[in-house]
Amino acid sequence: MSVNESVADAAGSDPLNRLGFLLARNGAIANSRVHRAFEACGLAARPGAALMLVGRTGFMSQQALATALEVDPSVMVGILNELESAQLVERRRDPSDRRRHIVAVTEEGRALLAQAQDAVAEVERGLFADLSSEEIATLRDLLARVRTTPGDAACAEGGGACAEE
């Protein structure tokens, strides 16, 4: 029996119990909850995700941030313009390479970042409340092996959960 046949057989007679439908439904719900968590902090999801990435170290290059979010550099400029106008990040020229911009979190950004991280953590606690820490680790590992990429055309259509928009 092939892998595809075993996946189909596992769905049983209920077509909505197929893995694709279950992933789609749960992904849509998780995406909606994360969006609302960011919105409660005054952020759209992509700027919120960008702030969280920069917040890990306090700064990173604009190009590295675009790569991490897997967005076009022109889209990254718009995201950073939004964060910069809210005084959450600032862009500076890299002293070692004046062509490069470094994005740094401001004090205002750190305060909002803490709120956003708490809000997203609360969403995750709710979503995974019935799973043990081992099951969560297994789920993360399994999802990492599912053959999708943020560069998939579906991500480009609406941005959605692909880049935490």
pLDDT at 163 exceeding the cut of 60: no
Q: What is the mean pLDDT of residues 74-81?
A: 95
Mean per-residue pLDDT of the chain: 87
Q: Is the pLDDT of residue 7 over 60?
A: no
CA distances from 165 to 10, 32, 139 (A): 32, 10, 22
Q: Residue 11: in which H helix or E strand, if any?
A: none
Contacts of 51 (CB under 8 A, 6+ apart): 43, 83, 88, 89, 105, 109, 112, 113, 116
Q: Give the model's pLDDT for residue 139.
A: 95
Contacting residues for 15 by C-beta, under 8 A, at least 6 apart = 21
pLDDT band for position 64 (50/70/90)?
Answer: very high
Task: Give the model confidence (pLDDT) of 91-115 as tens digits.
Answer: 999 888 888 899 999 999 999 999 9
> Topology of domain 3-7+14-146, per CATH?
Arc Repressor Mutant, subunit A (1.10.10)
